[in-house]
Amino acid sequence: MNADQKMRQSASASAYGARAGAGTGVGAGDGDPPGRVRRFWSERRVPAGIVALVVAAVSGLLLYDVAAVRSGRRAMRWRDWLADELAARPLDSAWMVAGAALLAALGVWMVVMAMAPGLRGLLPMRAPERESGSGSGSGAEAAAAVRAGIDRTSAGLVLRDRAMEVPGVRSARVDVGRRRIRARALAHFRDLDEVRADLDAALHEGIRQLGLARPPALSVHVRRSAKSKG
């Protein structure tokens, strides 16, 4: 029974990122230009606009209340209540500590979001090679200005189609992450080790042809389908 279970399930984790410089590694021998390709940065127009509107609304309301008090009118109830609470509660109060921690966490989160590139669903691709020669100055500048990327969902669909071309694969699912690609397949004939080896090679070739700047590691899992077990 144990031997049968071993034959019915096979898993392989092939992290080829460390072999990228080898002759058979992904991205090797393709004439890839050296240099680091940075991720795409999100413009964040909608979140920035929402934050700006909220800050403007709160600031305008506070400014109106201050101007009203200066002109002899009574302050709004919420500002009287807030002033009384801040004056009555000690600094070591649980509400004061919780409020300060919440504001600090919100500030750190906003700083991290401002410094993070965003666009996590977009994988950068390798930059095109620059032409060599005396009259290739403008061509080199144009090549340097070109940046390409591929959506992770689209990359997963391409790799899934590659996996379905492997003999013995009944169905496949490929999840593309920023650092790892996980492929799961159901086999309905052939030996599982043979299917896994062919699937591993086909996905490596598919990832190489995607032309990613930083190819993620590949993890392949193959198991026997329920219909084939019966």
Give strand ranges (E) for the chain. 9-14, 122-124, 149-151, 169-176, 180-187, 217-224
150 vs 121: CA distance, rounded Å = 8
pLDDT at 192 (0 to 100): 92
48 vs 212: CA distance, rounded Å = 30
User: What mean pLDDT do residues 113-117 have?
Assistant: 78
User: What mean pLDDT do residues 115-133 have?
Assistant: 73
How is residue 19 annotated by DSSP? G
- Using the Cα atoms of residue 92, residue 93, residue 98 and residue 99 in order, give the sign of their dihedral: negative
Asked if 213 and 124 count as a contact pair (C-beta separation under 8 A), the reply is yes
Asked if 162 and 202 count as a contact pair (C-beta separation under 8 A), the reply is yes
Name the token pair of 114: 């401002």
CA-wise closest residue to 119 among 48, 53, 54, 38 = 38
User: What mean pLDDT do residues 39-55 have?
Assistant: 81
Asked if 143 and 127 count as a contact pair (C-beta separation under 8 A), the reply is yes
pLDDT at 12 over 80: no
pLDDT at 90 over 90: no
Asked if 204 and 14 count as a contact pair (C-beta separation under 8 A), the reply is yes
3-state secondary structure of 192: helix
State the average pLDDT for the chain.
76
> In terms of pLDDT, which residue wins out, 20 or 216?
216
Q: What φ, ψ does residue 107 adopt, rounded to 5°?
A: -65, -45
The model's confidence at residue 148, banded by pLDDT at 50, 70 and 90, is confident
User: What mean pLDDT do residues 126-150 have?
Assistant: 61
* pTM across the whole model: 0.59
pLDDT at 18 over 70: no
Among 25-29, 61-65, 175-179, 216-220, the minimum mean pLDDT is found in 25-29
pLDDT at 195 (0 to 100): 93
pLDDT at 52 (0 to 100): 85
